[in-house]
Structures are given as structure tokens and as C-alpha cells.
Chains A and B, each alone.
Chain A
Amino acid sequence: MTTVIEKNQKNGRLEVGTPLLEVKDLHVEFHTRDGVAKAVNGVNYSVAAGETLAVLGESGSGKSVTAQTIMGILDMPPGKISQGQILFRGQDMLAMSEEDRRQIRGQKIAMIFQDALSSLNPVMTVGAQLGEMFRVHRGSSKKEAREKAIELMERVRIPAARQRVGDYPHQFSGGMRQRIMIAMALSMEPDLIIADEPTTALDVTVQAQVMDLLAELQAEYNMGLILITHDLGVVADVADKIAVMYAGRIVETAPVHELYANPAHPYTKGLLRSIPRLDQKGQELYAIKGLPPNLLKVPAGCAFNPRCDVATDLCRTEIPKLHQVSDKDGKELTGRRSACHLWKETLHG
């Protein structure tokens, strides 16, 4: 946590601890032919300036849907926000006019998508796509926009930016394309960046480069960052805190290193055990049994109970609340919560 405070003090854009973005009790449903899929069920999280929140979860856990809802790019219908607030600098974005939200999108909150090849327009040059931000939001001339685009490309360390500004997305490598996505997100110097699995489509070596670049730029601009991922390895180095999602709910939140050292939810525990480790070479890799639930038929009680090794009868009937977690002496651990009836046993046992 100290790193966050340091970052904030250094830049002094927002008071320490003032959340930039707060998601409050967000519920999102999808109305399909087979019924209502509850993709997000009462999610709460917040991000401060300069802070990195990692949202971890499998496909279908609701992590991307939450991000799309924040961004205002959720397909509605079939999606429907049934409840909740999303406060950006204290203002509820869900209550704003579409025009006000558009002014925030791209300029105040920007998003980086997973697959840069399909997320960049194949028939426009990267220069035009980067420059478009300045043309539209800053009223720049064509020439200015082009210069700005080159500047941005240099900023994200694309070699020979001036020669490549007229190239099309397919002419770049995967890592370079993701850098262009990052440059586009950075163009308006937003307060918050949402990165939806930014490195999933990349080679491992390139992943690290892109992640480092993102973390470096975030620190430089003192931006809030929401990093959505299913990759525990990506999270460890860059995140300040983690929210683990399962079946549309947050099941555990914790400062990043505490979560790795000592998880307070059996699902998190299972995730950590299923990371391949060099010192356990030759042993069978642990896997959480079963599959994530179908969102149309979420199990009663704790959604994780059919896959959980320690589930009791209580777990099969009652949905656990997000409990404040405390250490053995009963002292509350700041920022640590777990949605498990057996969090004590999991954490201390």
C-alpha cells in the first residue's frame, strides 16, 4: 500500500486515497433466449490515481463485462445494467447523458483490448487511427495529428516511427500492434486505463516488454490502471491490489503480495496451486476440478461449492458475504476480504 501513497504524493493530482473510480454494487444481466444470465452480481471495487487494480478470473467470471460497463461499450441489449453505480471522480456515470459519457470515453478513461489485430481498423493506417484522437478531441489539423501520432509511437518505443506511421495494422508484429493500442489509450493522457487482457495474445517474451511499458507509463502519468487478466504471473509484478472474481462476484480482494503469500479463499488457493513451478518438476500439475458454472444455472449457495474441496452444507445453501478478513489475533487486515464461509480455516489452517 505504501507504493500507492508514494505515487500519489509525488504527483499530487488527487488526494491520497481518494478513489478515481468506484464501482458500487454493480449488477449486469444478459437476456438470452435460454433465460437471464447474471454476468455481474453486486461487484464493488475502487481504483485510486496511480494505483493498479488487477481483476483476476476465468472466462465468464464477469471481469470483462464489468470493464465494458465502466467503459460504456457493453452491448445493450442483450446486456442490461439492473442495479448499481459507477462513480468517476464522484459522479455517477450510469446517470449521465450519452454525450457526457462520450466525453469521458477515450479522454478520461481509455481502454486497451486483448487482440490488437482485430481491435485496430484493418483499412486505416495506424497514423490515422492514432491521429484521429487529436483530430476529433483536440481539433488538430491533419498535419498536427500526424506529428502527434509519430510522437506517441516513439513514446511506446516503436522503431522508425516516422517511416511506419503510414503503415497498416497487419504490417506490424503482435507486440508492436499492442504498443499502438497502448499509444492510442495514452493519447489523451487519461486518468484511468482499463487493460482487458493486454498481453494474452502475445508471446511470453513480448508479454513482459508490453507489461513493463504499461507499468512505466502508468507511473509516469500517475494514472489509475485496471488490469483484467486470467494470468497470475502478469499480475504479481505490476498490481497493487487484486480482486478475484468468480461467477460474477468478487470472491477475494487483497494487496497483491498478501494474496500470493496467503490466500483467504479456496478458489484463489486453487488458482495459485495450479501455476506450474520449476521446483516441482515431474509432479502432476494441480487443477481445480470441474468447470466454471453456466451463468444460466449458477449453483445454489456459494457458486464455487461444487468444485471446492472443503465445502460444507452451509456452502451449498447460503451465499457467503464478502467478509472482512483478520489475522489470528483478530486484528483486521486492511484491504483484505473473502467471500467464503470458511475464510478463517482457509487463511489460518
Chain B
Amino acid sequence: MGRYVIRRLIQAIPVLIGATFLIYWLCFSLPGDPVQALAGEKKADPIVAEMIRQKYHLNDPFLLQYWNYITGVFQGNLGESLTGRQVSDMISEAFPFTVNLAIVAFVIEAIIGVLAGVMAALRKGKFLDQLVLISTLFVISIPVFVTGFVLQLVLGVKLKNDYGIEIFSVSFNEEDGLRGYLLPAFVLASTSLAYVARLTRTSLMETMRADYVRTAVAKGLKKRRVIGRHALRNALIPIVTFLGADLGGLMGGAVITEKIFNIHGIGGLLAQAVYQKQGTIIVGVVTLLVMIYLITTLLVDMLYAVLDPRIRYE
């Protein structure tokens, strides 16, 4: 296992370099002028513009720019934005919000999703199953910005104004702590939650037909134990994969949800950087996201071996 992890980490280096190179190249090829973008509608002063270009080596050839950047990255320097701020500072300001939001969303989708899926599978064809199937289809079909605004209005505004219940806040506020994250996290989790519920339902129904589940019944075990000890653990293997990949996605920030609830996370930072064509910020953020993806997929693969003893990494 140890050697496997080391090998995976070594493999991650070329992936990381490749990803940064691609993103850097994409940013470089973008039409438009980042320096002009700083000035807005007005024509930028040519002298100031040239100064900025000099300062940030924007006149250098692409490969040289990339070389300077990547050597900086390996020395722990993610560079500076065109407004003179350290990219690493900007990321460390935004990232905690994203991490908190992602964790709350992840917990919501894992717990509610798996529970709904299990209940639906055990009541196959009955009312509860139909309810789960239809409601998840509904959630999957609606874009997140619709879910976000509707829930913001109903739970954040109406609930407070009409019934005086103030559980969910309309806009994110740091002082609210966990409570502040609940509504945005639920919105962010909704689509994945629906997929997790459906996946759990199918997977558990399939496992319930397995021979070893029949054996467990023939052993005279109670239904609870047959499902909990024998079926569920096997059924959860594909769900762990999905959740693992999704955690990587959640950590990458949520542009829409962050915007609706006014959370200054990684998603917003990245979106803004793209508007302003600030290559250093984009590449910095993306490098971080690629690293998170690599680590979460590695963790999922390791969790596999724990869940399924037939899988061994040598």
C-alpha cells in the first residue's frame, strides 16, 4: 500500500505540470488585453500600460513566461495579480469558505442521499420509492440557479417574514457559523444528492439479489442484519466512488451558489479572474484544484481497498 501511494504521488507530478502548462497556454491565447481590462471602458494610458507589461513580463515570449512562473511555483511563489496582491493570499482568503461549504454539502448529500436511496430500494415500487424517484428526477432537471433562488426566497425570506422562523439566512454571513452554510450547502448538494439517492437505490436493489444475501437470509438472520451487514456494505462501493469524485468537484468551488448567497469562495475568485483575464490567478487556482482532485481520487482508491478486500494494491 505504501509503495502504491508513493507511486501515485510521483505520477501526480507530470499531471500537475501538464495541467498548469495547458491552462497557462489557454490564458495566454485568450483574446483581449489584461492590462486594458484593468482600465475598464476607458482607453488605458499607453505609458502606464507599458509599465505594467514590463513589471509583469507580459512582453516576454510565452515559454519564457511559463518557465518563470513554474519555477516560482516550485519555490512556493504563486505570483502576483495585476493589482499587486499575492495570489497565495487571495487563495488562502477564499479557500476556507469553499472548504466549509463543500464539507457541509458533502455531509448533506452523503447522509440524505444514501438514506433516501436505501429507503427507496427497500420499498421498491411502493409510495416512498416513487416519491424518491420522482423528486430526484425533478431536482436533477432543474438548474442550480433556479433551485438556489427559489430556496433563498422560500426558506430565507418567506419563512422569516410570514412565520417568523429564522433558521436560514438569505445571504451568507460569517458570524452565523454552521447555520449560515446550511441553505447554500443544500442548494449546492441538491443535484449530487439526487444522483446519490438513485445510485444507492439501484446498487442496493442489485446487491439484494446477490447469492450471498440469499445465504444471509438462509442463515436465519434478521432482515436488519441481512441488509445492514451483508447487502449495504457491498452496495456502497460504487457510491463511494461517486462521492469521492464529487468531493473533488465541491472543493473546486461553486460559482453559481457562491454568487447567489454572496460567499467569497474559490469559485467566485476563479470566475472573476477569468473575466479580468488575470492569468496568474487562474493558473494558481487551477493548480490547487488539480492537486485536490489528485488527492481525493487517491483517497477514494485507498478507501476501495478498505471496503473491498478483493482489491489489493501492490
Contacts and interface: CB of A to CB of B under 8 A. Distances in A.
Interface of A: 71, 73, 102-107, 110-111, 113, 115, 118-124, 132-133, 136-137, 168, 170, 184
A185 B233 CA distance: 23
Given A113-B215, A122-B234, A123-B234, A136 B308 contact: no
A205 to B, nearest CB: 25
30 contacts: A71-B218, A73-B218, A105-B217, A105-B219, A106-B218, A106-B219, A106-B220, A106-B221, A110-B218, A111-B218, A113-B218, A115-B211, A118-B212, A119-B211, A119-B212, A119-B214, A120-B212, A120-B215, A121-B230, A122-B234, A122-B308, A123-B307, A123-B308, A123-B309, A124-B230, A132-B221, A136-B221, A136-B222, A136-B225, A168-B310
Contacts of B218: 71, 73, 105-106, 110-111, 113
Contacts of B260: none
Given A110-B218, A121-B212, A136-B222, 15 more contacts: A73-B218, A102-B221, A102-B222, A103-B220, A105-B218, A113-B215, A118-B211, A118-B212, A121-B234, A123-B233, A123-B308, A123-B309, A124-B230, A132-B219, A184-B219
Interface residues of B, number: 21
B243 to A, nearest CB: 18
Contacts of A111: 218
Contact of A73 (B210, B214, B307, B308): B214
A113 B211 contact: yes
Nearest to B212: A121
Contacts of B310: 122, 168, 170
A103 B211 CA distance: 21
Nearest to B310: A170
B309 A118 contact: no
B290 interface: no
B215 A104 contact: no
Contacts of B307: 123
B210 to A, nearest CB: 7
Contacts of A184: 215, 219
Contacts of B233: 123
Nearest to A111: B218
What 3 pairs across the A-B complex have the smallest Cβ distances?
A106-B220, A105-B220, A118-B211
B220 A113 contact: no
Contacts, number: 67
B27 interface: no
Contacts of B216: 121
A132 B221 CA distance: 9
Contacts of B212: 118-122
Nearest to A110: B218
Contacts of A105: 217-220
B234 A133 contact: no
A105 B216 CA distance: 10
- Which one of A102, A106, A123, A137 has the highest number of Cβ atoms from chain B below 10 Å of its Cβ? A123
A122 B304 CA distance: 13
Interface in B298-313: 307-310
Nearest to B222: A102
A103 B219 CA distance: 9
Contacts of A120: 212, 215
A110 B219 CA distance: 7
Contacts of B210: 118
A328 B247 CA distance: 81
Interface in B25-51: none
Contacts of B215: 113, 119-121, 184
Interface string B45-86: 000000000000000000000000000000000000000000
B235 to A, nearest CB: 11
Contacts of A118: 210-212
A133 B216 CA distance: 10
A74 B275 CA distance: 63
A123 B240 CA distance: 15
A120 B218 CA distance: 12
- Which one of B210, B211, B218, B230 has the highest number of Cβ atoms from chain A below 10 Å of its Cβ? B218
A170 B309 CA distance: 9
A102 B220 contact: yes
